[in-house]
Chains A and B, each alone.
Chain A
Amino acid sequence: MKIKVIVTLKNGVLDPQGKAIQQTLNGMNFGNVEDVRQGKYFEIEVKEKDEKKAKSLVDDMCKKLLANLVIEDYKIV
């Protein structure tokens, strides 16, 4: 089963890439863009039929590798 994860920077952590994207969008006349935060998206194929078990496995993966909890949050979607 496929589990999807989104990893984003925590609030308050500087995101220079997001800032550069925002400024570029503003320069392209998307003047109403106030903020951009860039993140990562994962699709993980797990050999497991039980959704609860699969998600709990992916949760463990997020904590151990996919996200660095010093600066990042993750969300299993």
Chain B
Amino acid sequence: MRSSVIIFPGSNCDRDMDVALKKFGFKNQMVWHNDQSIPKSDLIVLPGGFSYGDYLRCGSIASKSKIIKSVIDFANSGGLVLGICNGFQILTETGLLKGILQQNKFLNFICRNVFVKVKDKQNKYFKDLKKDVLELHIAHNEGNYFCSDDELKSLEDNNQIAVTYCGEDGTENETTNPNGAIKNIAGIFNNNKNVLGMMPHPERMIDKYLSGEDGSLFFKNILDNFK
């Protein structure tokens, strides 16, 4: 499975993502934001970081960069596009995903492990995933997902909520919500479920000695579903 990771000025999880993808057998290549086109890929990843210093709004400047047109075309033709953290913010700013990531409710930068519940498995990312609750890492200042009531209803009606913050046992409530996100939302899909944006970093959970391996499950699952 071929993948491309887009690097923006200020991306800082691009190499972690590269290491993770290659570890599980993706043929990954790095693509610079100023390039016009993306090499043939089955998956495009927008990595975490602070693209363009998060100026104006997180992800807003990156969402207008040269390479983005190719990403949007790829997404609209059904290709898999995964945005992690700042990548999720960029995807909402392009309009590929609904809503926006606002500043965390308590104005703090959060950097810790969280549990997320997989809400939908009828998609190429989570189909046949063995677990329902994953332990992943978050590190963000703007992860407070917000959208209008109408948009939320359509996300719910179409099962576009991908993952939600929860406790180890899967309980979702205010105490398991780290940033104030509406309905504990940690990640969502587009209408066709080929575009996934999420705040947690699976690429940081791929080594049992360093962190945990629930990220490994995530990447292996994408590969298994591609075969």
Taking beta carbons and an 8 Å cutoff, which residues of A are in contact with B? 13-14, 16-17, 20, 65-66, 68, 70-71
Contact = CB atoms under 8 A, between A and B. Distances in A.
Q: Which of under 10, 10 to 19, 20 to 34, or 35 or more describes the interface residues of B?
A: 20 to 34
B100 A71 contact: yes
B57 A70 contact: no
Contacts of B111: none
B24 interface: no
Given A13-B146, A16-B105, A68-B93, 19 more contacts: A14-B102, A14-B146, A14-B180, A16-B103, A16-B107, A17-B103, A17-B107, A20-B107, A65-B56, A65-B60, A68-B57, A68-B100, A70-B92, A70-B99, A70-B100, A70-B146, A70-B147, A70-B148, A71-B146
Contacts of A13: 102, 146
Contacts of B104: 16
A58 B42 CA distance: 38
Interface of B: 56-57, 60, 64, 92-93, 98-100, 102-107, 144, 146-148, 180
A65 B64 CA distance: 8
A16 B103 CA distance: 8
Contacts of B93: 68
8 contacts: A13-B102, A13-B146, A16-B105, A16-B106, A16-B107, A68-B57, A70-B100, A71-B146
A35 B197 CA distance: 34
A20 B108 CA distance: 12
Contacts of B98: 70
A13 B92 CA distance: 17
A16 B102 CA distance: 10
B141 to A, nearest CB: 11
Contacts of B180: 14
